[in-house]
Structure formats: C-alpha cells, structure tokens
Amino acid sequence: MEKEIKGVAKLKEELERLITITGIGNILALTIMLEVGNIKRFEKVGHYPSYCRCVSSIRTSNDKKKGECNHKNGNKYLCWAYVEAANFSRRYCTEAERFYTYQRKKSKTNKLVATKALANRLARVSYYLINYIFID
C-alpha cells in the first residue's frame, strides 16, 4: 500500500525538508502535507502545535483542575503523525531520548506525557522548516 501511495502522491517542495527530521519518513511527511494544507494560515508558531493537538488544554487554578476546554479541537490525524514521529525519533535517535524536556517530563509524570512533549517540539520544528525556510 505504501508503494502505491508513494507512486501517486508527491511531496511538495517545501515539505521535502520534513524528511530530514529524525522520525519523519515518507508516509508521515505525506500525512502531514495532506492534513496541514497551507501553513501560512497559522500566524504564530504556537498555533500550529495547538492545531496538531500537541499541547494540553487543561485549565488549572491553584493547582486544581478546572476543566478541559476544547480538548477535541484540532486535527487528530496530525496528532497521530507527530506522536508516531516522536516515538520513532526517541527509538532511533539518542539525542531525542536525552532531550531535556523529554527526560524531565518522564521523571515527573510518565512516558506518555513525555512523548507528547517531544511531539510538540517536532511540530514546532516542522512549522519553522515549512514556513520560514521557503518564504514566497
């Protein structure tokens, strides 16, 4: 199935840089390309990981949970793609495993939260690679 997809779909020029990120291969780059559309619609870098569901939406006050507002907003397929990229990156890249945010989250909470933090970093890097390197 991957061979058929590679034969039909071609990566856009600006998204070929995504493959240079450890953990993102051809299929994940195609998924990101097809789900994002125009990256210029995100004004700031923080809007993109939020759309990708890579940040939490929990509101707290005085260390008490007050609600989870808009936890279903965003694109679930981009969330899946960046979590998969984070898992591959952590598995095959020792720098990602030793990444400060990943280690800190893993020691304080659990492995899933740490993986989501690494996915957030990958989403931010992807935004910069797509948006700022290839300025029209």
Specify the number of domains making up the chain. Answer: 1
In Å, the largest CA–CA distance within the chain is 54
Q: Is the pTM of this model over 0.95?
A: no
Query: Residue 77 domain-assigned?
Result: yes
Query: Residue 61 domain-assigned?
Result: no
Query: Residue 95 domain-assigned?
Result: yes
Query: Residue 136 domain-assigned?
Result: no
Query: Residue 24 domain-assigned?
Result: yes
**Domain span at residue 27?**
2-56+71-131
Query: Residue 124 domain-assigned?
Result: yes
Query: Residue 66 domain-assigned?
Result: no
Percent of the chain residues topping a pLDDT of 90:
8
Closest CA to 125 of 6, 45, 35: 45
Average pLDDT over residues 7-17: 74
Q: What are phi and psi of 64, to 5 degrees?
A: -120, 140
Q: Which of 19-23, 62-66, 93-97 has the highest mean pLDDT?
A: 19-23
What is the distance between the alpha carbons of residues 14 and 11, in angstroms, rounded to a whole number? 8
Q: State the pLDDT at residue 83.
A: 92
Average pLDDT over residues 94-116: 78
Q: State the pLDDT at residue 70.
A: 63
Query: Residue 65 domain-assigned?
Result: no
What would the pLDDT profile of 77-91 be if each residue is shown by its tens digit?
998 999 999 999 888
Average pLDDT over residues 91-105: 75
